[in-house]
Amino acid sequence: MSPILILVLGMALLLLLIAGAKLNAFTALFVTALFIGLTNGMQPAACIAAISKGAGDILGSVIAVLGFGVMLGAILTETGATRQISNRLLQLFGHQNAKLAVCITSFSVGLALFYNAGFVVLIPLVFTIAFETKTPLIYLAIAMAAPLSVTHGFLPPHPGPTAIASIFKADIGLTLLYGLCIAVPVLLLAGLWFPERVKKIATKPPEGIFNQQIEAPARPPGFAISLFTALVPVILLAVSTLVLQLYKPAEGAAKQFLLFIGDPGMSLLVAVLLAIVVLGRSRGIKISLLMDKSGNAINAIAAIIFITAAGGALKQVLIASGTADAITLYFKHSTLPPLLLGWMVATVLRIAIGSATVAGLTAAGIVQPLVVSMHVNPELMVLSIGAGSLMCSHVNDTGFWMFKEYLGLSLKDTFRSWTLMESVIGVAGLGGVLLLDIFV
């Protein structure tokens, strides 16, 4: 049986286990990973090793981000900082333009912050604005998620487009410029138009993740210090990336410090400690109270952490079982136009593997010879593959589960909202690339 057919059967099994047998997503993902690995002929020990590696790798990269991110959100909410930020944004844009306010804020954050980190930093603000304006939560969540996804897929210095640009020897500056040209119309579609199509979808966030009944503190922090504290991770990541990229410091204490503060988890830890001091302790709020609220928030995302680990396990089994290699071989001798081929290969790999970064890098390796032999614009190929790598996010993507669990969506409604949003970005991104190709 071919790996591609096994993949199709595996995805069908996963949906059947969750929607039909009513297994929780954590169990269903692990059962599906075992099915795909063993059916592909992997030895049981090798299959278990791949599951362990996948779960460990993804937890290693996101556990600090999720943990410190939700702690930061809880502290910002408890001290009144999130309310201060939301009130100022609503004053600036108006209640009727809450979606635009969220979209612009998310894009600004997403320029420097990776998707997972940006999501956990911004989701408390989305909860607060939705509560203050009586706006459907899904409506604002899509407006927040779309810019983070666009920056993740299209714009350096995010790891996917940066690494793909390196493979094609594309100019990073031009890639960023072209990416911004595409990002604006894509966001008009995915971040502002698409939320109108899904605003009636009901959400039920986990209890404890956001306290709607919190009273304003006696001494609320000012807007400036509230915004600064919330954006500390963005500032640290931006400074670290810019200095490392522009000045390329030699090995030493300075470089190690920049690498430290440029880690998403560590930048969030710095923000948490700063928030405890400047938003809490200095205003008479007991640290023990902030820790209690943070602990409740962490308990609320325990299921998200486990499901994220299971998604990483499935992704690793798909790679180790040869599924990605089978897809690569299928596309090797295609006669499609290069930019369309790059997008299509990345799309198929994204559907098969789940990880946008892995799909993009694998697709780049397949079409790299075409960039040289057919004189394809390398910057546009980076963006074409980036667009394809965002397509059709579903049950093997950890971003899918984060969105589903934070908002308390059903599986069907996650497909209707998150998956469709990612596909709108992917298709619109390809359209932008093909349009730019006419002029450049």
Task: State pLDDT tens for residues 392-417.
Answer: 998 888 889 889 989 999 999 999 99
**What's the pLDDT at 113?**
65
| Distance (Å, whole) CA 23 – CA 5 | 23
CA angle 349-4-59, nearest 5°? Answer: 50
Confidence of residue 306 (pLDDT cuts 50, 70, 90): confident
Distance CA 324, CA 340 (A): 19
pLDDT range class, residue 300, cuts 50, 70, 90: low
Tell me the residue length of the chain.
440
Q: Kindly tell me if the per-residue pLDDT of 167 is higher than 90.
A: no
**Tens-digit pLDDT profile for residues 175-214:** 888 988 999 999 999 999 999 999 899 998 887 666 555 5
Across the chain, mean pLDDT equals 84
- Locate the domains of the chain by residue range: 59-302
Nearest CA to 119 out of 96, 140, 133 is that of 140
Phi–psi pair at 200, nearest 5 degrees:
-90, -5
Q: What is the pLDDT of residue 328?
A: 66
- First CA to last CA across the chain, in angstroms? 45
Look up residue 59 and give its two tokens: 């937890």
DSSP-derived 3-state class of residue 389: coil
State the Cα–Cα distance between residues 86 and 83, nearest whole angstrom. 5
Q: Which residue has the higher pLDDT, 332 or 261?
A: 261
Give the pLDDT mean for 59-70. 77
> pLDDT at position 416, please?
95
* pLDDT of res. 209: 66
Q: Strand, coil or helix: what is 83?
A: helix
Q: How far is Cα 276 from Cα 295, in angstroms, rounded to an integer? A: 14
